[in-house]
Amino acid sequence: MLLEEIKKFLLEDSVNRFLKYVQVWTTSDEFSLSTPSTENQFELGKILAAELKELKLDNVIHDDYGYVYADLPASRGLENVKRIGLIAHIDTSPAVSGKDVKPVIHKNYGGETIRYASNKNITLTTEDSPILKEYIGLDIITSEGDTLLGADDKAGVAEIMTACAAWQKYSELKHGPITICFTPDEEVGKGTLNINKQRLPEFCYTMDGSEMGELEFECFDAWKASITFTGLSVHPGYAKNLLINATHIASRFLSEIPEQESPEHTEDREGFYYVPRLKGNVEEAETTITIRDYREDNNKKRMEFLRSLKDLYEIRYPGLKIDLQFEHQYSNMLRFIEKDKLVVDLAEKAIEMAGLEVIFHSIRGGTDGAKLSEMGIPTPNIFSGGSLFHSRKEHIPTLALQKASEVLLHLAKLWTSA
């Protein structure tokens, strides 16, 4: 059991770091060709690299791709135990603005409706987020409603940094060698694109999950379809049998996707198609379709459906050209992690040691851990504590920041005898 003094330190330090980090603008950009996708991600990386140096970690590097690496030396006498890695991403989702985040702490939450100072049109209730019922009496952090909060994944960043601070401050917290890695562009599927695999140990953990107690080692198999419709512009007054309106046809094409297989109509282990964008004009329209399922064969069926739809539409509209490209984004991590469950078993014990019930959860999305597991580094996902990610209603209890940091301290101790 951790001493109350250490728990108090974890709470204060993690909250202070989190409030600081969320105010740094790090939104990533799906359509950028730069690496990282946005220059502003470097700003948080600089801050983290400087703090890691202040904490006297070794080999601190902030590289040209925006990654931050550091090594925490082992406690005396534990230099030869197995090294582990702790990973979190610094970017936030481009779905909602992450610029000029103003975090607000709602003290001693009583179950009431939370209102936002900068957005009178939205509220946060227990209907929006039922887990709030479990947080009555706790302090809850939100934004002011004009931005997202950034708990995804600055909570994970803060929790890892706080654990490092605790290991340096309290010599009784024993641990083996630990590698820290903060990644850019996770939200746009490029978190491991330029990662230095040689800097990472045999086993890692991402801190990027939701509610307290969650442990995840299964995720979607993920594909992206990029579709370009090329038509022909003709004066609308003289267009009969000549005009090929690319945007109009693209809209019809997308309407063929089964509505029951959309995110708003699926849950649990049900897969989906998701259309995040459509843009264009008469001559050309572009869209992307996100394809997700836990089973790869189900995704193959969805891709075959889109191929058959392409062929049908090119027949239906003579002269129309449709370019359809598929990109595999990440695999279900389960088939890689289940080969060696030690990495999961120790995380389960660490969560229990922090006084939490372990919640095994399948991710309806993905993390850097999915790619790393496929690369041969089993990397399950531990909760960071936030809810309603990628929205203006995103929130996190301060207790979750403390508890996640506690889990890391227990986890490092468990690995010393693994």
294 and 178, same structural domain? Answer: no
In a domain, 116, yes or no: no
Residues paired with residue 89 on neighbouring β-strands, in sequence order: 183
* Domain with 296 in it: 222-330
- Active-site positions? 91, 186
Q: Is residue 234 part of a domain?
A: yes
Q: Has residue 130 been placed in a domain?
A: no
Report the distance separating Cα 4 and Cα 10, nearest Å.
10
CA distances from 241 to 238, 250, 321, 412 (A): 9, 18, 16, 70
Q: Is there a single domain that holds both residue 207 and residue 231?
A: no
CA 242 to centroid of chain Cα atoms: 46
Angle between helices 398-415 and 151-169 (to 10 degrees): 50
Separation CA 46–CA 298 (nearest Å): 42
Rounded Cα distance, 161 and 166, in Å: 9
Here the CATH number for the domain that contains residue 22 is 3.40.630.10
**Domain end among 298, 330, 362:** 330
**Can you give the pLDDT at residue 367?**
83
For tokens 């993690």, the residue is: 14
User: What was the pLDDT predicted at 358?
Assistant: 97
Task: With respect to residue 267, please indicate whether it lies within any of the assigned structural domains.
Answer: yes
Write 385-389 long-range contacts (CB < 8 A, 24+).
Answer: 385/151, 385/155, 385/159, 385/210, 385/211, 385/212, 386/149, 386/151, 386/152, 386/155, 386/210, 387/129, 387/131, 387/132, 387/210, 387/211, 388/124, 388/128, 388/129, 389/93, 389/148, 389/151, 389/152, 389/210
- Cis amide bond preceding 153, omega within 30: yes
Residues 194, 308: one domain? no
Instruction: Mark whether 187 and 318 lie in a shared domain.
Output: no
Query: What's the token pair of residue 170?
Result: 């309290």
Residues 84 and 177 reside in one and the same domain: yes
In a shared domain, residues 146 and 291: no
What are phi and psi for residue 17, nearest 5 degrees?
-65, -45
Query: What's the pTM value of the predicted model, to 2 decimals?
Result: 0.90
User: How are beta strands 381-383 and 203-209 bridged, if at all?
Assistant: parallel
Considering 304, 330, 356, which residue would you say is the last residue of a domain? 330
Output the 3-class SS for 377-405. CCCCEEECCCECCCCCCCEEEHHHHHHHH
- Any domain includes 122: no
Instruction: Report the C-alpha gap between 186 and 260 in whole angstroms.
Output: 28
Compute CA distances 163 → 179, 183, 335, whole Å. 12, 18, 30
Task: Report the alpha-carbon distance of residue 218 to residue 220 in Å, rounded.
Answer: 7
User: Does residue 211 sit in the same domain as residue 269?
Assistant: no
Largest CA distance in the chain: 84
Within a domain: residue 117?
no
Same domain, 399 and 319: no
Number of domains in the chain: 2
Residue 120 counted as domain residue = no
Kindly state whether residues 8 and 80 are assigned to the same domain. yes
**CA 382, CA 211: separation in Å to the nearest integer?**
10
Contact call for residues 88 and 384 (beta carbons, < 8 A): yes
pLDDT value of residue 1: 66
Please report the pLDDT score of residue 336 as a whole number.
93
Please measure the distance between the N-terminal and C-terminal CA atoms of the chain and give it in whole angstroms. 19
End of a domain among 330, 349, 373?
330
3-state DSSP assignment of residue 279: strand
| Secondary structure letter of residue 229 according to DSSP | E
CA-to-CA distance for 124 and 395, rounded, in angstroms? 9
Which residue in 310, 319, 314 sits closest to 231, CA to CA? 319
**171 and 76 assigned to the same domain:** yes
Let me know if residue 270 belongs to a domain: yes
Closest by Cα among 235, 233, 259 to 244: 233
> Which DSSP string do the residues of 192-222 spell out, in sequence order?
TTT--GGGS-SEEEEEEE-STTEEE--B-EE
Task: List the pLDDT tens digit at each of the 418 positions of the chain.
Answer: 688 999 999 999 999 999 999 999 999 998 899 999 999 999 999 999 999 999 999 999 999 999 999 999 999 999 999 999 999 999 999 999 999 999 999 999 999 999 999 999 999 999 999 999 999 999 999 999 999 999 999 999 999 999 999 999 999 999 999 999 999 999 998 999 999 999 999 999 999 989 999 999 999 999 999 999 999 999 999 999 999 999 999 999 999 999 999 999 999 999 999 999 999 999 999 999 999 999 999 999 999 999 999 999 999 999 999 999 999 999 999 989 988 899 999 999 999 999 999 999 899 988 899 999 999 999 999 999 999 999 999 999 999 999 999 999 999 999 999 8
| CATH code where residue 271 lies | 3.30.70.360
Q: Are residues 370 and 392 in the same domain?
A: yes
Whether residues 150 and 287 share a domain: the answer is: no
